[in-house]
Amino acid sequence: MRRPKAETTSNPSWRLLRGNGGLGVAAIAYVCVDYLREVSPQWHERLQPVLWAALALAALVRAPFYRHWSLEIRAAIPFLASLVFLLAALLCEAISVRFVTAVLGLDWHRSTSPLPDTGQWLLLALNEKLPQVVVDILRAHIIGLHHYLMLFMMLGFSVLFNSIKAPGLGFATRYLFTLAIGRLLRAITFVSTILPSVRPWCASSRYQIPLYPHPLAQKYYEPYASDPKAISRLIQTDTHYANVKEYPVEYRPDWGHMSFLVDILRPSVSEGSKWYHLLKKAGGGCNDLMYSGHMLVAVLTAMAWTEAYGGCTSALIWLLVLHSSQREIRERHHYSVDCIVAIYVGILLWRMTGFIWSAKDTSRAKRLSKLEEIQSRLIRAAKDSDIDDIRKLLNEVELAGRERQSSSQWAIWAFAGVATTFLFTCVLLAFILTSDG
């Protein structure tokens, strides 16, 4: 008995359309047009609105003809859950950034030298060896954080054109969930061991934290920070024994139910009466934050493009990731180890979350599973020469690989309108809030 021939994808056209390179051209055009702000601001002001308007219009025109809205409806709740999870992770990270900056006091930031970084030495040495044109390219601000976020969003919206596998919200869920896990792991990492900033002037110029250390650091760090004999005795006894110096009393505003954050955020009188005012000023912090958050976003975007789209565009994005990495080191936003760790953590995390969304086709596996399930009935029908029963069974196999549309047509159209509006709003907010890096 010959098995029915299964299609290699649930939508045979999506791989064909993916090969036409339209999405890759759009991505490269976006990066190039945005780089014009560095070389020709006037042309940038003219071309950027035109490009964004063209991309938005194309997506809006295509949305009514999208055939997988039922899949998107089923992926909506996991998407919203992953978005909430990411926002919670970013809040935890912002609190942690403020803590590691404030815990040792402003005097520590001013007096502590950056750690030796061989990656920085290598880049400085290459500046003397490489042609000036190459050095200028390495120094150029070609791509930043908001570019990688926009490339991810372009990839997600390309599901409307069958450039990636549906559902697009499933793809976005995987990206946001992986990013949230990465940010939480990052916060745990840089809180565990506090490293000095690559830019020693950072804390003085951006924060109004107390000059002296936190009471915990006063007791458990300061007495043993520089005295080898004290450190040796501490190792032998494994017990705090040193006397604590006298320091000013900590300022403790009344934050109501959030007053537990006072000991973590260490506010000053001049920083405002609300706890969230301090988090708005956190930015990237003024300690070295192991590992680089910018590089994590860049690597996850490159991994997403590699799996979902592939081709030369993905290779180009990986080159941009490497360019961003050396710029993070060259401009002393991070130590070399921060960028290296971010690269392999991003790769490993993306590999681990394939259960959420994958570019692999599942319709063939579903059909084969259904065929194995009805194999005995199919053989019996063939022996009995029951053509109608054979057709019925083969139809069951065919339907097993198709998406089920359980929602009414009006519900699908309503969801399509709400989802499109919401996602365009997210794109606009992400572009505005991350345009400064």
pLDDT in tens, 231-246: 898 899 888 888 888 8
Q: Rounded to 10 degrees, what is the CA torsion of 90, 256, 278, 430? A: 40
- CB neighbour list of residue 225: distance below 8 Å, 6 or more residues apart: none
- CB neighbour list of residue 98: distance below 8 Å, 6 or more residues apart: 264, 265, 266, 278, 279, 282, 285
Structure tokens at 174: 């995987």
Average pLDDT over residues 171-179: 95
pLDDT in tens, 121-166: 999 999 999 999 999 999 999 999 889 999 999 999 999 888 888 8
- The reported pTM is 0.85
- CB neighbour list of residue 371: distance below 8 Å, 6 or more residues apart: 3, 4, 378, 397
pLDDT in tens, 257-272: 888 888 888 888 777 6
Q: What b/e readout covers 257-279, taking b as 16+ CB neighbours within 10 angstroms?
A: eeeebbebbbbeeebeeebeebb
Q: What b/e readout covers 302-320, taking b as 16+ CB neighbours within 10 angstroms?
A: bbbbbbbbeeebbebbbeb
The amino acid at residue 238 is D
The alpha-helical segments, DSSP class H, found in 289-335 are: 293-308, 311-330
Q: How confident is the model at residue 283 (pLDDT cuts 50, 70, 90)?
A: low
Phi/psi for 43 (5° steps) reads -65, -35
CA distance 7 to 12: 7
Structure tokens at 274: 């609300």
